[in-house]
Homo-oligomer: A and B are copies of this chain.
Amino acid sequence: MTSTDATPPLRPTRQRIAVAEAMASFDDFRSAQEIHELLGRRGEHVGLATVYRTLQRLADAGEVDMLRTEDGEAIYRRCSDTHHHHLVCRSCGRTVEVEGPAVERWTRAIASEHGFTDVSHTLEIFGTCPSCG
């Protein structure tokens, strides 16, 4: 393995920058389509397919979180680089990042207890936030 290029050269194009900036501009989860629209409204036209491609790259690179709504739609959000989970308001979509070392430990323990390796997990908490309650 001289330099296992799983990562081909990445170019900072106008489109990629636009998407990255858009992601930086809000705090909650948005779908690819919403981001595409947002960019359009801002005058930064970026093709829908490109938005999808870019978001995937960002997600792979761990720069954004991607999760699925109940009905299977992918939604994205910029995130801090530490591992964490989300507390999401069912009605207004407001999200809070939460951490739980105990949960991390627990999942690892359970997994190895069953002989599973290379473990990862997803955890989302849903509820009604104070202002929507």
Contact = CB atoms under 8 A, between A and B. Distances in A.
Interface of A: 68, 72-74, 87, 89-90, 96, 98, 100, 102-103, 106-107, 110-111, 114-130, 133
B125 A121 contact: yes
Contacts of A133: 115-118
In the complex, the count of this chain's copies comes to 2
Contacts of A72: 68, 72-74
Given A102-B102, A102-B106, A103-B106, A119 B111 contact: no
Nearest to A107: B125
Given A72-B73, A122-B124, A123-B122, A87 B116 contact: yes
A121 B125 CA distance: 4
